[in-house]
């Protein structure tokens, strides 16, 4: 019978290796709380759609040390324009730095953000911190 070493037992178990699960693991790691992530997918694919990360979200990612990487793979959005189906401008909304915030709003493909976070978790917590194919 195998014995379980105390260093193999996580303090927190996270169910789901999506964006929220990965960010949670990174934040807990900063507090020296050992985590393990269980994900049902067989691999971490770059699938998804476009996301607009508001400044408060960007702040967390920057605090996790992802500023340079995030800036390389995202677009800093200055404003959002809303049009009618006839092409008439309905509303213009300034965002991020242009909207008076200290940080930008970043537009990014979900898959790119997910891969960035996945790599950072592996780097900071180790490859064994994420268990794939867990149902």
- Mind listing the pLDDT tens digit for each residue in 73-106? 999 999 999 999 999 999 999 999 999 999 999 9
How many Cα atoms are found within 13 Å in the side-chain-facing hemisphere of 113? 23
> Domain 10-131 maps to which CATH number in 3.40.50.720, 3.50.50.60, 3.40.50.970, 3.90.1570.10?
3.50.50.60
Domain boundary assignment for the chain:
10-131
DSSP secondary-structure letter at 115?
H
pTM, two decimals, is: 0.86
């Amino acid at each position: 019978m195998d014995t379980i070493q105390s260093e193999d037992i996580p303090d927190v178990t996270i169910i789901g290796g999506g964006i929220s699960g990965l960010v949670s693991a990174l934040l807990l790691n900063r507090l020296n709380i050992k985590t393990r992530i269980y994900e049902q997918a067989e691999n971490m694919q770059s699938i998804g759609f476009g996301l607009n990360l508001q400044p408060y979200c960007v702040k967390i990612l920057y605090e996790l040390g992802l500023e340079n990487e995030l800036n390389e793979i995202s677009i800093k959005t200055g404003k959002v324009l809303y049009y009618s189906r006839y092409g008439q401008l309905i509303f213009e909304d300034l965002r991020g730095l242009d909207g008076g915030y200290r940080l930008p709003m970043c537009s990014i493909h979900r898959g790119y953000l997910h891969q960035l976070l996945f790599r950072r978790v592996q780097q900071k917590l180790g490859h064994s911190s994420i268990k794939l194919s867990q149902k």
